[in-house]
Structure 1
Amino acid sequence: MEHARSVRGPATIVAALALLAGSFPAQAHTGTGLAGGFFAGFVHPLSGPDHLLAMVSVGLWGAFLGRPLVHVLPVVFPAMMVGGAMLGMYGAVLPSIEDGIALSVLVLGLCIAFAWKAPVWMAIAVVAFFALFHGYAHGRELPAAADPVGYSTGFVLATGLLHVAGIALGLLQTRPLGVLATRCLGGLIGAAGLYFLVGAAA
């Protein structure tokens, strides 16, 4: 009975995330004119599965890689997002934003699915590179927000919580069949990323 319960938990989480990925449009950043303020910023990362899955994947991959990356990656991602947002706010050109965001979901999902034990420097480089695209997409929208400081604060807090959610999912590895469940979850995230990439290309 206990074994069945431990398997049912991961399966439920996997199914819920799969439904979530299929129930929203692929982009959470399809225009300007954002409402300002803390609440709008907090909700925004939750409103599009491409951002949500990428941020959860950072925490999940970090948990899989262990120390120090379980602590480092959730710091690197929002830090580089700030850099990307500044590029977007000041009008710098970063090509293929939607493709980069979709590719981040695909690559991070595959890193988890294939249990890639990347060296510390390479894991940081992968996460930092993709964080630029996520930050840039939102940086283009920030000037239109009525309260960009409150919006940014809410956005960063939500990002951090999504990383924590990914780390929590990574704890599945300590349970029976947990590693398999984690890798299957990575496969579903990668499949969602491929779907987003095809949509962006179209």
Structure 2
Amino acid sequence: MNLRKSLFAIALFLSPAVAFAHTGHDHAGLLAGLAHPLFGLDHLLAMLAVGLWAAQQSGAARWALPLCFVGSMLVGGLLGFSGVQIALMETGIAASVLAFGLLVAVAIRLPMIVAIALTALFALTHGVAHGLELPELANPWGYAAGFVMATATLHASGYALVRLLPQAAAPLVRVLGAASALTGAWLLAA
């Protein structure tokens, strides 16, 4: 019993130091930016789905869709840093999870201009959300670099999953898309 109390006391004693360990340092922005897309289910699913969907495409769409998403998201992030808000932002983010999930589930190849426009619109909503959630003392450029790197990594992970799986596993990718779409529908209803 004394050991438990001692460990609890040590944990309480150290917790303020842990909470303020990165305050005011440039890398705090980078770490916060990396964490935002990875720990938000809506962001995580949408960004993975963009990579899955890009891998289902042919030609330039394979690289244009993820690149468009990252660029549009960065523009949205800069708008968010400036305090710009967009109507129905959270609805747009949830809708992106649903839409990208459906696009993966049906493995559709839209005309390039439609695919780019859809991707850019949804990426902008994600970016504004990232920008508006900039931690108070974080370096905005480090934060932006973090969410861009995390997003690109999630896109690449989704892409690699599709490209590295044997063709016989293609139905599994569609099931992942359907699961993402269902989650998006749940997020919209919640």
TM-score of the aligned structures, taking structure 1 as reference length? 0.76
Is 1:191 matched up with 2:182? yes
Counterpart pick for 1:157 among 149, 156, 174:
149
1:148-167 deviation digits (Å, cap 9, x = unpaired): 22121111111110000110
Aligned partners of 1:38 and 1:150 also within 8 Å: yes
AA matched with 2:54: G
Q: How many positions carry a matched residue from both structures?
A: 165
AA matched with 1:73: L
Aligned partners of 2:81 and 2:140 also within 8 Å: no
AA matched with 2:94: A
Is 1:111 matched up with 2:103? yes
1:168-190 deviation digits (Å, cap 9, x = unpaired): 121266432x2211111110010
1:15-55 deviation digits (Å, cap 9, x = unpaired): xxxxxxxxxxxxxxxxxx9x932222112211111000100
SS in 2 for 1:165: helix
Match runs of 1:12-91 below 5 Å: 36-91=28-83
Counterpart pick for 2:159 among 153, 167, 190:
167
Aligned partners of 2:74 and 2:144 also within 8 Å: no
Measure the CA separation in 2 of the matches of 1:110 and 1:41. 27
How far the C-alpha of 1:93 sits from its partner, in A, is 3.5
Counterpart pick for 1:99 among 72, 77, 91:
91
How far the C-alpha of 1:89 sits from its partner, in A, is 2.2
Aligned partners of 1:74 and 1:163 also within 8 Å: yes
Q: Structure 2 regions of 5+ residues with no counterpart?
A: 1-22
Greater Rg over alpha carbons, structure = 2
Q: Structure 1 regions of 5+ residues with no counterpart?
A: 1-32
Aligned partners of 1:145 and 1:151 also within 8 Å: no
AA matched with 1:48: G
Aligned partners of 2:77 and 2:144 also within 8 Å: no
Is 1:123 matched up with 2:115? yes
TM-score of the aligned structures, taking structure 2 as reference length? 0.80
- Distance 1:180-1:105 versus aligned 2 partners, 3 A rule: same
